[in-house]
Amino acid sequence: MERGYRSYLVRVWRRRPPPAAPIHVLVEEIQSGRQAELRGRAAADVAAPVEGALAGTGAGAAAGRVHGDAGGGGRMILVVGATGSVGGRIARGLLGRGHQVRVLVRPGSAYGPLLEAGAEAAQGDLRDPASLAAACRGVETLVTTAISLGRAAPDTVETVELDGYRSLFEAARSAGVRHVVYTSMLEADTRSPVPFVAAKAVTEQRLRDSGLAWTILAPDVFMDVWLTAVVAGPALSGGDVWYVGSGRRRHSFVHGADVAAFAVAAVDDPAAIGRRLAIGGPEALTLHDVVGVFGSLLGRTIAEHGVQPGEPVPGLPPLMAGMLGMLDASESVLPMEELAAEFGVRLTSVREWAQSLVPVGTR
């Protein structure tokens, strides 16, 4: 079974109280692209189930787009995190632009489809510095999305986000890598009480101090992860939506495919070097707005409830409740028009994404 956020969410939802319909079945259907198939549209691939329904947007669009020097020109790009959701899209996007792509993979991870798509594998682990040195040999650009979240020890914030990334940047510098594209998060902050969020900021600073040319991608909250967990899953199964607070804070929810598109564009664009790119979707919406989008597509009113910050959110583990608390504590409204135009990325709206999940017959 795929590891990472998505399988983590499936496990989380399995622990929810029984909903009107078996939620894990629904979630797995969403993730396997079956909802898209129900609409008569083919899902692009297993790793990127929504792309088929969102053809013309995001990473799919960037793969064929000319930006920066645009040509792959056979340069070797190492992707760390390619067996994950965003990293897989990046690897495919880079292959689509004619780059040579090497993926750092661990035994037991599902990397076969990446090799079939044309990537070469370097066996390794962020916890194994020697493997990183080997993987970086001959590499011009390193793109990394790897995270420990959703995995178990020995993959932890300490071993992956902190020690692992330090080893990776050291290996990249020793190997003469020219450019590193690191996927952080918008809210990264060394003062955060959430260790993962603080570690992201530490790693950003380490990269800036490393002497390597860098680009930091700082995406807002992913719609295809968090809005799936909080709104789409319950809404599509006939349940109520639960969040922290009023649900009236605005955020520029972004699709992971669009973040991948920025990464692909940044690899080919010298103008991306030395910049932290804050990446959001095309509009800022509240959770209440998102509930409204699903309500209008499903033709019914969806009940929503907010718990007090610090209280448990029904069906969600403390980590997710904490992140929802962060969403309730502030707003993140990112004007994206100029940045999207500069990097040639067509951003996916929440409504487009929601439509890709709601079968035609129910609209």
Ligand X SMILES: NC(=O)c1ccc[n+]([C@@H]2O[C@H](COP(=O)([O-])OP(=O)(O)OC[C@H]3O[C@@H](n4cnc5c(N)ncnc54)[C@H](OP(=O)(O)O)[C@@H]3O)[C@@H](O)[C@H]2O)c1
* Cβ 307 to ligand X shortest distance, Å: 20
Reference 339, options 246, 262, 274; nearest CA is 262
Question: How far apart are alpha carbons 231 and 358 in whole angstroms?
Answer: 12
Residues touching ligand X, count (CB under 6 A)? 33
In the complex with ligand X, which residue's Cβ is closer, 17 or 152? 152
Site membership for ligand X, residue 81 (CB under 6 A): yes
- Say if CB 286 and CB 248 are below 8 A apart: yes
Site membership for ligand X, residue 155 (CB under 6 A): yes
- Say if CB 146 and CB 87 are below 8 A apart: yes
Reference 257, options 99, 88, 119, 97; nearest CA is 88
Annotate 113-170 with DSSP letters as a single string: HHHHTT-EEEE--TT-HHHHHHHHTT-SEEEE----TT--TTS-IIIIIIIIHHHHHH
| Interacting span for ligand X (CB under 6 A) from 67-75, 93-101, 147-155, 291-299 | 147-155
Pair of tokens at residue 253: 């929810």
For residue 109, the SS3 value is coil
Site string for ligand X, 276-315 (x = CB under 6 A): ----------------------------------------
Site membership for ligand X, residue 79 (CB under 6 A): no
At residue 114, what is the residue type?
L
Site membership for ligand X, residue 275 (CB under 6 A): no
Distance between the two ends of the chain, CA-based, in angstroms?
Answer: 31
| Interacting span for ligand X (CB under 6 A) from 58-66, 221-229, 310-318, 350-358 | 221-229
Site membership for ligand X, residue 58 (CB under 6 A): no
| Paired strand residues for 242 | 305
Per CB under 6 A, which of residues 106..145 are in contact with ligand X? 106, 109, 125-127, 145
The residue count of the chain comes to 363
* Cβ 279 to ligand X shortest distance, Å: 8
Per CB under 6 A, which of residues 223..242 are in contact with ligand X? 225-226
Tell me, what DSSP letter sits at residue 246? Answer: T
* Cβ 20 to ligand X shortest distance, Å: 27
* Given 222, 294, 343, 353, the residue binding ligand X (CB under 6 A): 222
* Cβ 314 to ligand X shortest distance, Å: 21
CA of residue 244 relative to chain centroid, distance? 22
In the complex with ligand X, which residue's Cβ is closer, 80 or 293? 80
How do 275-279 and 213-219 pair as beta strands? parallel
Site membership for ligand X, residue 31 (CB under 6 A): no
* Given 35, 156, 167, 183, the residue binding ligand X (CB under 6 A): 183
Would you call 85 exposed, middle or buried from its count of C-beta atoms within 10 A (0-12, 13-18, 19+)? buried
Interacting residues toward ligand X by CB under 6 A: 3-5, 81-87, 104, 106, 109, 125-127, 145-148, 150-151, 155, 160, 164, 183, 185, 219, 221-222, 225-226, 256
